[in-house]
Chains A and B, each alone.
Chain A
Amino acid sequence: MKTSVDCHSTSSVQGSVEASLMALVGSPNCGKTAIFNALTGSRQKVGNYSGVTVERKEGLVRGSRGRDIRVLDLPGTYSLDARTLDEEVARDVVLGRVALELQPHLLVAVADATNLERGLALVLELKNLGIPMVLALNMMDLARARGQELDLGILSQELGVPVVATVATARQGTRDLLAQLESALEGVDRAPPSRTAQSWEKSSAEQVRARFGEVDRILSKCVKRAIAPTPWTDRLDRLVLHPIWGSLIFLAVVSLMFQALFTWASVPADWIEARVGDVSGFVGSLMTDGPLKSLLVDGVLAGVGGVLVFLPQILLLFAFILALEDSGYMARAAFLMDRLMGKVGLNGRSFIPLLSSYACAIPGIMATRTIENRRDRLVTILVAPLTTCSARLPVYTLLIAAFIPADRSVGPLSLQAAVMLGLYASGLFLALLLAAVFRRTVLQGPRPSLILELPTYKWPSFMNLGFGLLERAKVFIRRAGTVILALTVLVWFLSSYPKAPEGSVGAPIDHSYAGKIGHAIEPLIRPIGFDWRVGVALIPGFAAREVMVSALATVYSVEAREGADEEVVQAELGPVLRGQWSLATAASLLAWYVVALQCLSTLAVAKRETNSWRWPAFMLLYLTALAYAFAFLVYRGVLALGWN
């Protein structure tokens, strides 16, 4: 059965025939996604709502009678009075206002049992819509551990809604919840859409107050014993938010992340590299020399293999980010950084998108949706590509391994790790600097307020982490198998044809299309220390940064194919580059990579998020100019210092 994201444009038709639709609604941090994962298991698909980049997660849950029920995991929201794009989508889906989306037959309100008041206020707001609803009280284990005693019968009676206790991360209560959902769904499938939802209006401040009054009344009836404060969260926060210790912990977390990327990830990375080498050798030994072998070994395997090697690093980075989010530290980081971010005109909330951009600017730019103010959001989008995304890692790793000695160290860090940290730091520095510039020039305006919930600390859920990483791995491998494969083959073709004429001297790539293009742009890139071969690799690198590595591999291995030192080329690209480039060129290329916007997907997502080509065009222009200037300075600087 395929009623899911890929064909969600037709789901309003199929849905009414095949499966009922329910939607999970709840505030951020209430464990909504954990319930979604517990209900649907691996039967889920992630995509986007049509026209916007809000993530759309739909799954299928098998009911007791073998009937499939569709479940939609809506973005977290504190109320229906939406202020961000995410919240708007959640509200509009609930109200049945999104084109091509079916209005849910049933709402599954999810509330954090340890933080009942806000959750119940949302439940009361939702209840007014007249859509059938079930309340899942999640994190019941934590609430019980903190001494909370709750009469769920009275709660359910007072709310007028069935209530189920769950511990989604341990899959407890899922069965009860499912049973409740099924009985609630009886007969509602074909009910006409809710009238009340259609005539929905923003609630007044008075209504918000009244809802909290009602929450107080209900809780006074059903709470037998109030929840105790969390000594752990308070104690941890006294350390984590401490002026000195907090800053040190913050630095330690970030340093640990980077050190880990370079030590832990190298084991699986080496393994993948060795396997790709095995496959290359095996394919090479089976085939006779010719265009097909060249395509497979030099094009496909060298290209895709060279990128796959970075899968462990990228997953490790995402694992860190997901775990920090899940544990509650990410919000603390935003809290700690608010003042500093404020100095450049951003707010603490910009910190999370910027940190996510370290994995990839695309989710980073998408994460700016939680920034309520338009100017803050635009500034964050504009500078997000300056933070060092994981696609730069392949290039950094390659050049650092080749040009920076491994046996030196700076303090506790190896020199290689220190250089890497320096590259990350310069990206961050430039991002903050430019944010300050933009906030004072093209995007002036008053500073909006910050209202940031600091959730209770908890252990990250392995299930959530697993599902999150699986999704990232899929995206990355799909990319390696499609975009990167296509570009790699293109580069291989451009650098292999036309063949050098008989009896010609010099490298064969000189005669190819790629060589011609490289030579054509050489005058342009010569001042920053790049020769025509770098130019050849930069062109596909403009489509996607990491392709640069495979493009270089292709350019150099193809060039040497008819040359003498074929074995050296095949052994590794790094040493080859070390022999061919000066340190100044490598440093200049690194500087170029810190800044340059070489990612079509980033431009596309920026276009979608800002709803115009104006900002992405501006982004491309300023980043290219800045990259050129930065690379030029670094190249001249290293030459002047006489390093080599």
Chain B
Amino acid sequence: MRIILKMNEVDFFVFSSSSHSLIPLSALPVGQRGVIESVALKDADSARRMLEMGLIEGSVVEVMHEAPFGGDPIAVRVRGALIGIRRIDASEIRVLITGEIPE
């Protein structure tokens, strides 16, 4: 399976996956789901707040919306809530892709 994903700074991020792929949350396209693998924000306070909002290892996330003006911030659904975060922070959260990109 070969998937092309749009990324924040890099224009295109191409990877192939046989079973599971680990990518930054910022690279998860709208409509696709993933399971959070790690939350490694450099800023400890922000990292904790992410955890408190349910962005913890094992939570299922789905990117729901992108803001106008460059698609930043993004709105992700996690543990039943919709949370807006910036791409730069989302890039420090790694997710395991589970769902398919809907056509």
Interface of A with B (CB < 8 Å)? Answer: 78-79, 81, 83, 114-118, 121, 205, 208-209, 212, 227, 229, 233-234, 237-238, 241-244, 246-247, 331, 334-336, 338-340, 348, 372, 448-456
Q: Which residues of B contact A242 (CB under 8 A)?
A: 68
Q: Are B45 and A336 in contact (CB under 8 A)?
A: no
Beyond the given pairs A247-B68, A339-B72, 11 more chain A to chain B contacts, judged by CB atoms under 8 angstroms and listed by A's residue number, are A114-B80, A118-B53, A209-B56, A212-B56, A233-B82, A237-B64, A241-B65, A241-B68, A243-B67, A451-B53, A454-B75
With beta carbons under 8 angstroms apart, the residue of B41, B57, B81 that contacts A449 is: B41
Interface majority SS (helix, strand, loop, mixed), chain B:
mixed
Closest CB of chain B to A332's CB: distance in Å?
9
Give the docked Cα–Cα distance between A244 and B69 (Å).
10
Q: Are A338 and B45 in contact (CB under 8 A)?
A: no
A328, closest chain B residue (CB): B82
B90, closest chain A residue (CB): A449
Closest CB of chain B to A377's CB: distance in Å?
14
Q: Are A243 and B52 in contact (CB under 8 A)?
A: no
Give the docked Cα–Cα distance between A238 and B63 (Å).
12
Knowing A237-B64, A450-B84, the reply to whether A117 touches B79 (Cβ < 8 A) is yes
Knowing A208-B56, A237-B65, A449-B46, the reply to whether A454 touches B83 (Cβ < 8 A) is yes
Give the docked Cα–Cα distance between A81 and B49 (Å).
9
B49, closest chain A residue (CB): A451
B85 within 8 A of A: yes
Of B46, B73, B82, B83, most buried by chain A (CB within 10 Å of CB) is B82
B81, closest chain A residue (CB): A115
Q: Are B52 and A208 in contact (CB under 8 A)?
A: yes
Give the docked Cα–Cα distance between A449 and B52 (Å).
14
B29 within 8 A of A: no
With beta carbons under 8 angstroms apart, the residue of B45, B66, B82 that contacts A83 is: B45
Of A115, A334, A335, most buried by chain B (CB within 10 Å of CB) is A335
Q: Which residues of B contact A338 (CB under 8 A)?
A: 67, 72-73, 84, 86
Would you list 7 pairs from A and B whose C-beta atoms are within 8 A, ordered by A residue?
A83-B45, A118-B81, A339-B69, A339-B72, A449-B46, A450-B73, A454-B82
Q: Which residues of A contact B54 (CB under 8 A)?
A: 117-118, 121, 212
Closest CB of chain A to B39's CB: distance in Å?
9
Knowing A121-B52, A209-B57, A449-B43, the reply to whether A237 touches B82 (Cβ < 8 A) is yes
B53, closest chain A residue (CB): A451
A452, closest chain B residue (CB): B84
Q: Are B48 and A81 in contact (CB under 8 A)?
A: yes
Give the docked Cα–Cα distance between A209 and B48 (Å).
10
Q: Are A83 and B51 in contact (CB under 8 A)?
A: no
Q: Which residues of B contact A450 (CB under 8 A)?
A: 73, 84-86, 89
